[in-house]
A and B are shown apart, each in its own frame.
Chain A
Amino acid sequence: MSDLQSPILIFGDLFVSKNKITELKQKHPEANWITMSANKDSLDDIRMEAGMVTWDDTIKVIVINDLPIRKQVREFLLDLASSKMEFTRIIIWDSTNSITVDPKTKTFCKTWGDFLNAFKKIEGNKVFNNGDQLTEKDASSCTSFVQKCFKKHDKEIHEREAKLVVNIVGYDRGLLQTDVDKMAITAPSPVTARFVIDNTFPTSKAAVLYKLGNALNDADYMGAVDLINEFVESGVNQNPIAEILIKQARWQMVACYYWSHGLQWGDMVDKMMNMGKFPSYIWHSTKLGSIDKKQWGEKFSGNNGMLDFLVKEKKIPSKFFKIKYITEEPKKSAKKKGDKKEEEIKPKVPRGECIPMRFMAQQTVDFIHNKIIKPNSHSMSNEAMKQKLVDRAIHVYTFAQEKYASIRYGENPMQDLQEVVRAMTDTNLDRF
């Protein structure tokens, strides 16, 4: 027990923090673990519990959670943590996520910053910062978190696959860790994208898209129908599934169009990945390399990107445009008063549809190439096939669109979904 440092401060991601405490409990089962709330329990009770010597000299670990934003409590905790107690260990856990980093300044707020600094001055202290709750902005730290989790199980996962895990599971350390712990039992090393798709549990619309898209691109009718049933049973509405099917049909249509216009298979994925990116003048330029496209294109990716491009790059005076530059965020005071006008006038930047992950574009291209063109290549000429392929893509897409209305307002959405899947997985060009 002597190896358990005291005092300990744990804050950050709740799931990871809770795991840390469980880990400590498992490591020191001989101790008497007592949990107290700094908000609900009286400070006198906490002091008494900490100062009480047990009559059999058992080591006592007091976990103080539920930290309120009260100066008096913070001062008490610092005082308690710095008290010398032979048989008592103190763990302070920010179970309410009060200690957070300001996203703008990347520092702790003054209140908790001072508390942390004072805590770090206590002899023997240990601080576990388990990071904030993740958001989409933290994609890179999220992927590295996934990689670390796999590494704990002696499994390797490359950044692309780790990113895929994050995209499917979501930005939640707890869910990510649970999924990785589960997958690591049977995962190959390095972990493959296929394994990730087959074994991760989807928690978002995008994740459903990956999984369902994967089955559709394998022309696996039964697999796709089973997946749809599974999603619906686990609470996913039929509408987002229908939207996913339409999206998938649209991507197939794009790939068919490119091929029918003579684009080589090798260039297809890059071309598809540039789809929807603004400005197309840059992203679809045949003169620019991919690095130049990225560098130049990113200049116009902000809220004012379209105006910037047209005004600064193409030298068109801004007075000709109805849309105005977005100069600043709506004032907080206006938000507080519930002034909806501020929010309503906030212009929406029109965006084209982009394919989120490269492998998805690759899967779509592979589907067209391997599942449609190859099996049909013996029965028709290349030119005839180009025409038939585009016809099929348009037919499937329009069919999916029509069924979308039926799925939304009809009586048997599951039947409609299955019919769309049947059309999308039908690879016989003679039928179109």
Chain B
Amino acid sequence: MKLAIKQNVFLSALDKGTIGALTDEAQADTSNMNLIVQSIRLTADTKELSIESSTNLIAVQHTIPVSKDDGLDVEEGGCVFIPAKELYNWVKAQTNDAVINMTFTALSTPELISTAEEDDGSLAIKKIGNLKLVSKSGDKSGGNKWELDCYDPQQRDPINFSEKGQKCFDIEPKMLEESVKAIKFATADKDYEHVLTSVSIQSYKKDVYFCTTDTKRCALYKVDGVTNIEYDKPVLIPAMLLDMIAKISDSENLLSIGYNEDIDRVFISQKGLEVRLVCVSKEKLKKFPGIKMLLEKPYSPLADVPKSVFMKMLISASLVNKSSALFTFKADKDAVIVKAISEDGKYKPNVSQYSIDKHATLTEDLNKVWGVKHLSDVVKIIKSDKIKMLIPENQKSLKIIDEENKNFSYFAMEINNPKYTV
């Protein structure tokens, strides 16, 4: 293989193609084959250059067309398997206008890199050659040279991106990024079944919703810009992976999402980008609650609170108790009293009163215990200056909506805390 590529073109391609090999999972891999997991497959022919990296969770293939005008010229095709992190860091260290020449030199006899004691060779990684890297910048002041080991590409089968399964829908990359960014905070920190750390994609009345929950609160986003909806069953994709893909996708072209039930994988494709993500198996899908009940439940306006006031009340309460506080909406005036008591015994109770714009007609004071952190998390997402609070008839939950982003809604459950009994 012999090719020349502009640094900025190559770096942009590596940003996408190396994602699998640069994940924490791949970089922390300590198995015998970790060198392979941490490497990318670089394949070039006269038409295109493709960069592929994969782990069990995520596989990415990014392809760019060969064009001298676009800064890529392939003199001799071929396929090499090279360490991703080293290559990425080296390319990043070159100047923007530099041209990187890559030449593969094969070893006369492959070298076995054994990673296991008393190995008969079956566990060894085969080094088949070196990739010579030469970077020449525009001012032609010398050049930066380096060499990287090349492993045998046959030691890892290429990912089959064609088994996409059922097509779900097409989505604008910008909407994907926006929606995942808005709701990912409501996922659980960890869940060994990965249900609560995932984004649930659900359809309701021809609309597609992204939803996350840790079972105590729920963030919901109605995704605009979704077309060609062909699959209306829920799909659960780890939020972290979806977020990564949202960031690398090209904003110009639609993303097509497909789901293969048989292998529990989601396929996302875009022009020049193929992604395969692991998703939660269909047997566990029912563990993620349906959004229908949330969307159909009527909520009435309770109060509007300026964002700054809302933050102030949460900060005051969290000084004493970060977990929960009692919110008393006065029946006779437009005010809310926030009381925080701690069971840790360090602090005295904190009580503060704030003026609000109350909409609900209350016959008596409304006392509700809500999670302080649950509320402060959502304030960071709300774009509007006003926090709109809504409450259902049974008063068991709280809905918060963003006037400047009507697609977003947030639900927090109340807390049963006898310490706050009024």
Q: Does A323 contact B (CB under 8 A)?
A: no
Give the complex CA separation of A51 and B343 in angstroms. Answer: 14
Within 8 A of A (CB), among B165-222: 213, 215-218
Given contacts A55-B216, A56-B215, A76-B343, contact A48 B414 (CB under 8 A): no
User: Could you tell me if A51 and B289 are in contact, using CB atoms closer than 8 angstroms?
Assistant: no
Residue of A nearest to B321 (CB): A44
Given contacts A52-B371, A53-B414, A54-B413, contact A42 B289 (CB under 8 A): no
User: Could you tell me if B218 and A55 are in contact, using CB atoms closer than 8 angstroms?
Assistant: yes
Residues in B with CB closer than 8 Å to A54 are 215-216, 413
Give the complex CA separation of A85 and B413 in angstroms. Answer: 14
Give the complex CA separation of A60 and B369 in angstroms. Answer: 19
Given contacts A44-B322, A48-B371, A51-B416, contact A56 B343 (CB under 8 A): no
Give the complex CA separation of A54 and B344 in angstroms. Answer: 24
Chain B min CB distance to A305 (Å): 55
Residues in B with CB closer than 8 Å to A72 are 344-345
Q: Does B50 contact A (CB under 8 A)?
A: no
Q: Does A45 contact B (CB under 8 A)?
A: yes
Residue of A nearest to B196 (CB): A32
Given contacts A47-B323, A47-B324, contact A52 B345 (CB under 8 A): no
- From A32, A48, A53, A58, B324 is in contact (CB under 8 Å) with A48
User: Could you tell me if B216 and A52 are in contact, using CB atoms closer than 8 angstroms?
Assistant: yes
Give the complex CA separation of A76 and B369 in angstroms. Answer: 19
Give the complex CA separation of A79 and B294 in angstroms. Answer: 33
Given contacts A48-B371, A48-B417, contact A43 B343 (CB under 8 A): yes
- From B215, B321, B323, B342, A55 is in contact (CB under 8 Å) with B215
Residues in A with CB closer than 8 Å to B345 are 72
Q: Does B233 contact A (CB under 8 A)?
A: no
Q: Does B397 contact A (CB under 8 A)?
A: yes
User: Could you tell me if A52 and B415 are in contact, using CB atoms closer than 8 angstroms?
Assistant: yes
Give the complex CA separation of A83 and B419 in angstroms. Answer: 10
Chain A min CB distance to B272 (Å): 40
Residue of B nearest to A60 (CB): B215
Residues in B with CB closer than 8 Å to A60 are 215
Q: Which among B218, B369, B417 has the highest number of chain A CB atoms within 10 Å?
A: B417
User: Could you tell me if B215 and A42 are in contact, using CB atoms closer than 8 angstroms?
Assistant: no
Q: Does B411 contact A (CB under 8 A)?
A: yes
User: Could you tell me if B413 and A55 are in contact, using CB atoms closer than 8 angstroms?
Assistant: yes
Residues in A with CB closer than 8 Å to B344 are 42-44, 72
Residues in B with CB closer than 8 Å to A42 are 322-323, 344
Residues in B with CB closer than 8 Å to A43 are 342-344
Q: Does B418 contact A (CB under 8 A)?
A: yes
Residues in B with CB closer than 8 Å to A52 are 216, 371, 413, 415-416
A61-104 Cβ-contact flags toward B at 8 Å (1 or 0): 00000000000100010010001010000000000000000000
Residues in A with CB closer than 8 Å to B215 are 32, 54-56, 58, 60
Chain B min CB distance to A22 (Å): 14
- From A32, A53, A76, B413 is in contact (CB under 8 Å) with A53
B361-389 Cβ-contact flags toward A at 8 Å (1 or 0): 00000000101000000000000000000
User: Could you tell me if B414 and A55 are in contact, using CB atoms closer than 8 angstroms?
Assistant: no
User: Could you tell me if A55 and B289 are in contact, using CB atoms closer than 8 angstroms?
Assistant: yes
User: Could you tell me if B416 and A85 are in contact, using CB atoms closer than 8 angstroms?
Assistant: yes
8 nearest A-B residue pairs (beta carbon): A48-B323, A56-B289, A51-B416, A43-B343, A44-B323, A54-B215, A51-B415, A51-B417
Extra contacts besides A47-B419, A48-B415, A53-B415 (18): CB < 8 Å: A32-B215, A42-B322, A44-B342, A44-B343, A47-B324, A51-B415, A52-B216, A52-B371, A52-B415, A53-B414, A54-B216, A55-B213, A55-B294, A58-B215, A60-B215, A76-B343, A79-B418, A83-B418
Interface residues of B (CB under 8 A from A): 213, 215-218, 289, 294, 321-324, 342-345, 369, 371, 396-397, 411, 413-419
